[in-house]
Amino acid sequence: MGTHYRAHQPDGRGFIDYSQEEHATWQTLIERQLPCLAGRACAEYQDGLSLLDLPRDRIPQLGEINAVLTPCTGWSVVAVPALISFDRFFELLAHRQFPVATFIRRREELDYLQEPDIFHEIFGHCAMLTNPAFADFTHTYGQLGLAASKEERVFLARLYWFTVEFGLLQSPEGLRIYGGGILSSIGETSYALSGAPRLVPFRLLDVLRTPYRIDIMQPIYYVLPSLDSLYQLTREEILANLVQARALGLFAPAYPPKPSRAAG
């Protein structure tokens, strides 16, 4: 997958100089998204968002995020290009470093962007990384991915997709969102709890066998009984289920096939 975005490079002090238009895009995104999260985002995310205290009128500097994350869970964010390899991605997670592509979407792509930008990474993911159970799971995931074969990584990608990106949680207050791909998307935040998608109790083997598409609203979400249940997934359990998933093969997709491009 290519990208027409270029990430900004930090200067010698780690400072990134964004334009006023880029700051304005951040402000538009965060001010319209925050009201949508009330009664939808899980308490752990809301607690993390309070700790981060993200600015409304400008894109935060990565050092500001690290000043909160590192004391909480030992994590930090690091600037990366718009696209990085799987090797680099897993290497960073294995060292408790979360990759942040330092560009922000253009205004004509406010509602949907295929590649992750700084709003998705900071607003969608970093609040959850203040939570020890979630942070430890993400660290374990990175270690597993770093050691995995190319074939195993394809299955591991589904675990990340249906948890870190598009996970739901059964809380004492009701169904809540913890996946950053939902929390950073105004459309998916409303859709996820609308009754339209299929909601399935989280079962590791099923998650590893479930195909997905990145360019549609998700037809299926997996629901955790608690965030602690993520932390309780051991490396041995994940690896054993991965072997079983490869032997059993994938479920039939819950979505229509991607339209083929007309020849021309």
Measure the CA–CA gap between 73 and 48, rounded to whole angstroms. Answer: 11
State the catalytic residues. 120, 125, 165, 184
Name the CA dihedral angle for 234, 240, 246, 248, rounded to a multiple of 10 degrees.
Answer: -110
Q: Is 167 exposed, middle or buried (0-12, 13-18, 19+ CB in 10 A)?
A: buried
CA-based R_g, the chain, Å: 18
Query: What sign for the dihedral angle of Cα 239, 213, 22, 52?
Result: negative
CA 7/CA 28 separation, integer angstroms: 20
The half-sphere exposure of 94 on its side-chain side, counting CA atoms within 13 A, is: 14
Q: Is 264 exposed, middle or buried (0-12, 13-18, 19+ CB in 10 A)?
A: exposed
Cα 95 versus chain centre, distance: 17
